[in-house]
């Protein structure tokens, strides 16, 4: 079976090419709970989950680095909320974005600074702002929004496979 996101707040459960259940009451099939489906696919409690990720990141960094990471997460969270107006990203996507930022943020900055360093040029005044925005753009590009999930019924409940 496949759970397919047709549009915002409209999911259908497919089996052998047929819709067997839906979150839309207008569909003439078994009704699915939108709240339960969103919970299943990780589209609920995004802010709480994100803050938990921040607390549990465990990244060993000095206070200056931690302050920068926290500021980045807060700004990234705002961008994520903007991007997520149409539910483009799941909680799992946000976790992947955060992990990508933790693993790649400094290397992107180094990559962008290298041409200036090679030419012994001073970094432009807007360099860190521009590098930060480029890093966030790359982090968001590292995930693709999902629209389909493999699911099965286990003990009468729908579960991701």
Q: Please name every residue paired with 100 in a beta bridge, in sequence order, or none if there are none.
A: none
What one-character-per-residue DSSP string does 42-76 give?
T-SSHHHHHHHHHHH------HHHHHHHHHHHHHH
Domain count within the chain: 2
The pLDDT of residue 85: 66
Q: Are residues 21 and 56 in the same domain?
A: no
For residue 155, give its domain range: 2-42+148-160
Q: What is the mean pLDDT of residues 129-145?
A: 85
Q: How far apart are CA 94 and CA 140, in angstroms?
A: 9
Q: Are residues 121 and 60 in the same domain?
A: yes
Decide which of 81 and 131 is more confident: 131
Q: Are residues 100 and 129 in the same domain?
A: yes
Q: How far apart are CA 103 and CA 59, in angstroms?
A: 10
Q: Are residues 154 and 93 in the same domain?
A: no
9-57 pLDDT per residue, tens:
788 888 888 888 888 878 788 888 776 777 777 775 444 455 556 566 6
Q: How far apart are CA 6 and CA 24, in angstroms?
A: 10
Q: Are residues 55 and 87 in the same domain?
A: yes
Q: Are residues 79 and 116 in the same domain?
A: yes
Q: Are residues 13 and 26 in the same domain?
A: yes
Q: Are residues 52 and 29 in the same domain?
A: no
Q: Are residues 132 and 68 in the same domain?
A: yes
Q: Are residues 60 and 117 in the same domain?
A: yes
Q: Are residues 156 and 97 in the same domain?
A: no
The pLDDT of residue 5: 87
Q: Are residues 71 and 113 in the same domain?
A: yes
């Amino acid at each position: 079976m496949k759970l397919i996101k047709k549009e915002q707040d409209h999911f259908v459960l497919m089996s052998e090419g047929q819709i067997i259940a839906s979150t839309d009451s207008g569909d003439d099939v078994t009704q699915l709970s939108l709240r339960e489906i969103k919970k299943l696919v990780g589209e609920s409690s995004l802010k709480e989950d994100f803050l938990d990720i921040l607390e549990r990141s465990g990244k060993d960094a000095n206070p200056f680095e931690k302050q920068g990471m926290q500021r980045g997460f807060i700004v990234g969270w705002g961008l994520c909320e903007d991007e997520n107006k149409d539910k483009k990203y799941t909680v799992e996507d946000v976790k992947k974005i955060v992990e990508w930022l933790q693993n790649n943020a400094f290397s992107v900055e180094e990559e962008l600074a290298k041409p200036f360093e090679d030419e012994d040029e001073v970094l432009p005044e807007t360099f860190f702002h521009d590098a930060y925005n480029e890093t966030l753009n790359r982090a968001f590009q590292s995930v693709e929004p999902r629209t389909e999930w493999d699911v099965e019924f286990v003990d009468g409940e729908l579960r991701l496979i």
